[in-house]
């Protein structure tokens, strides 16, 4: 529900960004400057001879699911978009595909250690639901270009959280910028990924993308961070997104601790969501937002507090708790619709 536009703009290079929340060092034509994978950690770096799993093709008309990876769609020769890898299983799948470079456009900190264990390096260049600006588009494209020139047989994997929205848009922008696809072809691949039509900013930045000149790409530094350095807002938004997902799991369990997630305490998760929302009130970026934006923060925080109190006191039925939770979802959607772009 929160827009990270202001937050990402504080980084070393401006970029458009949002909630959620949502992940850098990369090989250059020799190698990038900030941290190559430790050979001692890498169990088996993929080579063209060791590729065991075929990635989806560019003409596939629906996303593919693999062990630990979801919503995988090709956006060009050697360019894949999808969800964040699920623990070791996802990285094992990427390794089996021959992937050596992952680019995260999500706000969450990448699992770079797990990636290194599988001979894969991370680049972290987050974007928001308003899409990549021209600078970020060139950075993403330069990172992909370097990786593919280093080893054309190794696909580059771009991910956000679910692999439907930001990663699809970022991949589409890269595909146009590097000349893999036309704008219309790239927009069509976003629809294959399932990018929702109301994410106008994600489509708009692809419609504005163009083939980059060689000198433009040459001017972009080869030094990409493994973890994008941000201040507190994006971290808070990631925490909000996590609390929301936990509450969805709790709701599915009937508003009790889920059997498959025994660490979740329902009232504590609701209280944590309310706390994180409250903690945003004093943020300078939030202060610069319209009054209606802050009002929705207050409203959603109070809704979470109400669920927390009901869970602590045991006063509401599961049906009533679900009704209140739907109100939180509605508030988030309202905020997205009004302020995301």
Residue 284 scores a pLDDT above 90: no
d(CA 177, CA 19): 25
Local confidence band at 56 (pLDDT 50, 70, 90 cut-offs)? very high
d(CA 215, CA 217): 5
Residue 30 scores a pLDDT above 70: no
d(CA 220, CA 145): 11
Adjacent-strand bridge partners of 159: 82, 104
Local confidence band at 200 (pLDDT 50, 70, 90 cut-offs)? confident
The architecture (CATH level 2) of 232-339 comes to Up-down Bundle (1.20)
Could you tell me if 118 and 95 are in contact, meaning their C-beta atoms sit under 8 angstroms apart? yes
Residue 51 scores a pLDDT above 70: no
Mean pLDDT of the region 258-272 = 86
Local confidence band at 277 (pLDDT 50, 70, 90 cut-offs)? confident
Mean pLDDT of the region 247-262 = 94
Could you tell me if 203 and 169 are in contact, meaning their C-beta atoms sit under 8 angstroms apart? yes
Give the tens place of pLDDT for each residue, 291-326.
Answer: 888 888 889 988 998 998 898 888 899 999 999 999
3-state secondary structure 168-210: HHHHHHHHHHCCCCCHHHHHHHHHHHCCCCCCHHHHHHHHCCC
Local confidence band at 2 (pLDDT 50, 70, 90 cut-offs)? very low
Residue 43 scores a pLDDT above 60: no
Greater pLDDT, 71 or 314: 71
Residue 146 scores a pLDDT above 70: yes
Residue 42 scores a pLDDT above 80: no
- Residue boundaries of the structural domains of the chain: 5-218, 232-339
Could you tell me if 172 and 187 are in contact, meaning their C-beta atoms sit under 8 angstroms apart? yes
Mean pLDDT of the region 62-78 = 97
Local confidence band at 17 (pLDDT 50, 70, 90 cut-offs)? very low
Residue 174 scores a pLDDT above 70: yes
Three-state SS at 81: strand
Please provide the average confidence, as pLDDT, over all residues in the chain.
82
Local confidence band at 340 (pLDDT 50, 70, 90 cut-offs)? low
Local confidence band at 7 (pLDDT 50, 70, 90 cut-offs)? very low
Please report the pLDDT score of residue 282 as a whole number: 63
Residue 47 scores a pLDDT above 80: no
3-state secondary structure 138-178: HHHHHHHHHHHHHCCCCCEEEECCCCCCHHHHHHHHHHHHC
Find the helix or strand (DSSP H, E) in which 279 lies.
helix 266-279
- CATH code of 5-218, in short, is 3.90.190.10
Give the tens place of pLDDT for each residue, 209-241.
Answer: 999 999 999 999 999 999 887 556 667 777 888
CA 326 to each of CA 73, 77, 252, 329, 331: distance values in angstroms, whole numbers, following the listed order:
31, 42, 13, 5, 9
């Amino acid at each position: 529900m929160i827009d990270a536009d202001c937050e990402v703009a504080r980084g070393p290079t401006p970029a458009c960004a949002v909630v959620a929340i949502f992940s850098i060092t990369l090989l250059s034509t020799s190698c990038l400057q900030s941290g190559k994978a430790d050979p001692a950690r890498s169990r088996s770096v993929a080579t063209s001879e060791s590729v065991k799993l075929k990635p989806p093709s560019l003409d596939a008309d629906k996303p593919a699911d693999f062990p630990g990876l979801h919503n995988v769609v090709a956006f060009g020769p050697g360019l894949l978009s999808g969800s964040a890898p699920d623990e070791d299983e996802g990285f094992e799948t990427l390794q089996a595909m021959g992937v050596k470079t992952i680019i995260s456009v999500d706000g969450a900190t990448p699992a770079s250690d797990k990636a290194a264990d599988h001979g894969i390096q991370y680049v972290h260049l987050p974007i928001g639901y308003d899409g990549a600006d021209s600078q970020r588009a060139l950075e993403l494209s330069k990172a992909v270009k370097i990786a593919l020139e280093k080893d054309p047989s190794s696909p580059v994997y771009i991910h956000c959280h679910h692999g439907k929205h930001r990663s699809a848009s970022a991949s589409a922008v890269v595909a146009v910028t590097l000349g893999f696809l036309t704008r219309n072809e790239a927009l069509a691949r976003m629809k294959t990924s399932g990018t929702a039509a109301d994410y106008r900013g994600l489509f708009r930045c692809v419609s504005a993308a163009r083939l980059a000149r060689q000198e433009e790409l040459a001017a972009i530094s080869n030094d990409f961070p493994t973890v994008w350095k941000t201040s507190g807002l994006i971290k808070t938004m990631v925490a909000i997104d996590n609390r929301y997902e936990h509450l969805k799991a709790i709701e599915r369990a009937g508003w009790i601790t889920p059997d498959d997630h025994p660490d979740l305490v329902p009232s504590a998760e609701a209280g944590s969501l309310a706390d994180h929302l409250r903690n945003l009130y004093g943020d300078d970026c939030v202060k610069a937002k319209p009054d209606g934006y802050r009002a929705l923060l207050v409203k959603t925080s109070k809704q979470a507090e109400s669920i927390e109190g009901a869970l602590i006191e045991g006063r509401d039925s599961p049906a009533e708790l679900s009704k209140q939770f739907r109100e939180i979802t509605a508030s988030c959607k309202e905020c997205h619709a009004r302020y995301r772009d």
